Amino acid sequence: MERVYISKIPDYVDQEVTIKGWLYNIRSSGKLMFPELRDGTGIIQGVVVKSAVPEKVWEDFSRLTQESSVIVKGSVTKHPKKENVFELQVTDLEIISIAEPYPITPKEHGVEFLMDRRHLWLRSPRQVAILRVRNEIIQSIRDYMYENGFILFDTPIFTPNACEGTSTLFSTDYFDLGKAYLSQSGQLYAEAGAFALGKVYTLGPTFRAENSMTRRHLTEFWMMEPEMAYCDINEDMDLIEDFMEYVVQRVIKNCRSELTELGRDLSKLENVKKPFPRITYDEAIDILIKKDIPLIRKTENGEEHIRPFPWGEDFGAPHEEAIVEDFDKPVMVHRWPAEAKSFYMKRDPENPKIALGVDVLAPEGFGEIIGGSQREDDLKELEKRIAEHNLPMEEFQWFLDLRRYGSVPHSGFGLGIERMVNWICNLENIREAIPFARRPNRITP
């Protein structure tokens, strides 16, 4: 009897099959039982008729507990009442393991309770759907990059210095060489890769030791960072919109049932097609002024300081929301005040106060999911920036070499994988977007 995955069950109507999985739930009705079986690809309801199975099979079913592992044989039939739903008319049962009382019931649970049992929570249909979407997002990123000539370029996780010199890093002892830091970005190394291979991308974990306790932050998250030689900020944005359209449309195509399980409004995602709106930072500020969204800062004595949004400040959550709400696509905000951005960004030749950076804000208030820029390619300018930011010049000599030996205009961006999952799946909190989320207050399981 053929072993079949539940996702393939519609191909086996009226045939005898074997399903290997776990008991998700069971209802009984005296001389009938309805076990729900899951195998990672789906859930199917079995029908056990007392008079139609050996006594041992009936007794074994009545011993089963939630999440017991079982191998079940039976024939596939159409559901008597529901269209496109199939059942298994059970003939035989083999118990692999009886589960102890399972803590996660098909009822509501709090987030802390579930996160303490994340290793079990992953089995529930919603989490399975999210992780399948995550898989499709990452696979479509890899396929897009491969098909467009990008070379996967793996960058180190142990690094000797702060990549951007801004956020706090995790540190660890590194033999006789002092401290090593966990990478917060592979970008600087990817720039070396771009000069060797033309177009590269990194895809791996990155680390930020910021004590950020919000629905959008992790201390360990996955980032995808393309880097292209002979590429300016406008071509960078061309790539962003082409790439994002590809990924989103492919997830819609291949993960329709998962997105439905998550209750996702697909029409919102179907809008994600090029071109995306491109607005400058100055234009974004005009929107904030027009909508009367002020900048609110708390002073040290706790008083709120409210003023019209001033040029030079970075946007907070309410500002991002106001900028995005008039659009039904991701919005690219470009040409930022240089002071608010990293040292490596190239200045606008037309205005030295402007950096050629771009942030991509996801629709529906999901906030920033991409940050990118054209990189400073002039040796003297870059040296000046490193000095201004009080970064260790010695550590950056290899990075400066890229400007000494055949410097070219180049650009790239960083995409937060979990933020992409967060948005596409319409999640409440980013901790569901990765199998085992790492946040300041959690490192287990």
Polymer length in residues for the chain? 445
Residue 30 vs 406, nearer CB to RNA: 30
Token look-up 């329709």 returns 256
CB of 154 to RNA, least distance (A): 18
**Per-residue burial over 325-357, b = 16 or more CB atoms within 10 Å of its CB, e = otherwise:** eeeebbbbbbbbbbeebbbbbbbbeeeeebbbb
CB of 40 to RNA, least distance (A): 20
**Around Cβ 74, how many Cβ atoms within 10 Å?**
23
CB of 32 to RNA, least distance (A): 4
CB of 111 to RNA, least distance (A): 5
Residue 51 vs 267, nearer CB to RNA: 51
Residue 198 vs 363, nearer CB to RNA: 363
Do residues 313 and 295 make contact, with C-beta atoms less than 8 angstroms apart?
yes
Residue 89 vs 148, nearer CB to RNA: 89
Residue 84 vs 267, nearer CB to RNA: 84
Q: One-letter amino acid identity for 385?
A: R
CB of 415 to RNA, least distance (A): 6
Residue 140 vs 342, nearer CB to RNA: 342
Tokens of 139: 């696979």
CB of 317 to RNA, least distance (A): 3
Tokens of 296: 């609110």
CB of 406 to RNA, least distance (A): 27
CB of 222 to RNA, least distance (A): 8
CB of 133 to RNA, least distance (A): 16
CB of 352 to RNA, least distance (A): 20
Q: What region, left, alpha or beta, does residue 53 occupy, with left being phi > 0 and alpha being psi -120 to 50 degrees? A: beta
Residue 51 vs 84, nearer CB to RNA: 51
Peptide bond into 330 cis (omega under 30): no
Residue 112 vs 253, nearer CB to RNA: 112
Residue 177 vs 213, nearer CB to RNA: 213
CA distance 220 to 185: 11
CB of 433 to RNA, least distance (A): 9
Residue 341 vs 347, nearer CB to RNA: 341
Residue 286 vs 428, nearer CB to RNA: 428
